[in-house]
Structure 1
């Protein structure tokens, strides 16, 4: 009988160690709890530390990092974090799927985007005409009620022998405006928002005061961001931006940013760094160091 109990004990322990999430977090938690109850019949002294580590390691990779960074001490504490992260990932996938379907079924009747060199010329010409009070389209002096004498052409930009003779069509002006807007936009990668832990991501732990923070080095994000949930932990009050900024996530989702924390200091491996961070509801990481910070550090080589 004792030998039978030992075999069952080993079987339940092995099943718990090999358990992986394959469906929803709720179903994984149910399977995990059943195995824990069965194991406790043979080993009542199993520690909460072991159980929460085993629970976290069994989560899907896209959920694990976000739960692990919260340093939960019990399975009951880790479960809500996993459920929240699961919802974030599912929402990101849903938005990406909708964007893909829309792009597939939508017929684009607009002409193709003008070459970059042509757009650059048009943008410079538009800036010149704006500075000198000229009509963007025809180049004549602009006054209230102005009507272009020269008819618009279907071509993007005519031969630009001089700033006064070139004609910019409505299409090219729209393309220039779209390009100007995109150059000013901020972008955020899906990894930064979801907290997914991939082999090629670079994650760092740092200190701000007495608080441990998780940082993602992210070349897929144009700027550096801070999770709004970090503010009360480090007791910092953000500054309001003069104008609300739109941040585009790689999955097509749009986030709005209206505050920043300038000159934030953090300590890591004996070095102190300082930088400005825009504040967003990230949910995955405490800080995102984007291309603006990476470029300021000079040339980097990754192996």
Structure 2
């Protein structure tokens, strides 16, 4: 029975659902009209609600704008307008056009700080800043301002022009190089940190992060400070600076404490070694200081014990000097080290070869074993005459003296004169040296000399600068020297010389009554006919720089000039001498008649969109180049190839020397080339073209004339 009731209940619910949802086709028209009315009313209410919300939003916006305007008016009333007089209260510095980039950069920073403090508006910054530019800086700004378009110059544009003038690219490179080469050296850590901060402003890419800045600073520290900081692995710049200062301060404190301990212990400083042994000497002599001073038996210690430093109880005592050594003549204790020294000249012990007395003869007393400065014989007139006229007491060989030097040393030395002379009709390098007692000839050049060698009457000893002595037994008599068409004669001793072929000494200078003007490198000689001859020696040549040295000087701001050497006496071949030119004179005219004719298709160079005109400062020119530029421009104007222009834009003009000695006018279009649209089609490679020339034996060249290979400016490119 239960399942049956459940079935009836289900059927009843289905029937009720069908009765509550009548079909549309059977709906009452009144109900449909009521539904439509409700729908329209609902839509109208929604539209009214949206309109109300929009009006409310507009009222809120108007209220906010009104409040903002009131706030601005109140702010303007509270803050008066910034005037130049109020800006002067900040006392900004003046800039007079210094070439120091650090000073220029600092001036810009100070001006920006003053602008921020006084709240100067953007339209007044350039005007206020230009007032504080004086002297050369003021002249530069007047010129730059005239080249700018009319209207307001923003502060960003001003800083750009200012940086181009007082902080150009080469100065940036120079400051970058100084920053990369910065080392602590003899500076303290605070001094090094100030210099590092000063230079890092110009190279922000190297210190744009804390880690990079700390690493760069740590690399420039001294090695012992850097090694201490390396184990700490510091990542911040402030931590590296702080630890470096601590390490340096602790090191200074340690050194001072160590010096104090040395001073208390009696350990001497440098230059006080002699005094450090005085207390020890007192101990050896038996002095004992105290209340009762008495003599005691000297200590009999070893040499090593005698040379030990004193303790603190032995300092401050008055001590006698050290004994003088009989071997070396100096004051010291212990065994003299000279006892084991062997001379290379005499093979005897006790002295060096530089102190050897063997072969030394005194010129005053003519006795061997000492020099004139150590001679104890009285320097009387009789002794001097006897030393010259009388024969030597001992059998000593005659002595000659010479000094061997190079050509460069002779040119720099003010005591000698060097040059090129004819010796027996052969050009040779000659050194005129008043420090040489005899005249010498190089053994290498002597083989080419057409002269007979003769023996000397006796052996002659030659002493050179290092005190070595060489014996000579022959000479070349009456060798002919030609100076300005006059002949002189000299006896030459064969000797091994350096760069020079002949050295003329005092024997030749005395014979011809020579006088030497060392300052002007000039020698005046008197011939046998009593005629004065002046010989001028070679002066010091100009120094040459390598390319690396030249680039380094240019980075440092040095000026450089490009010089051309032109042989004006050289004859240039003429076109009339060439038969082909004479046959076709219309093909090889002297000058072009004018501009080329207009063609159906004209080649043009297109620039990238929105390209601006380019202007660069002109190159520095020598007066000769300035004159050549004026002449060539006037010639081009007369031919009609160019016309006058008043545009402030321009490009630098360098000159290039041609093989015939004339100057080619070139225009630096590199900046303009950066704005041109590059070719998209493949171009032939120069290497491929050279490969195609294999086997060619005849080549021709062409010297392009002005107006022939240039492109005419399009009429629409010419400003009105």
TM score, norm. by length of structure 2: 0.19
TM score, norm. by length of structure 1: 0.42
Larger Cα Rg: Structure 1 or Structure 2?
A: 2
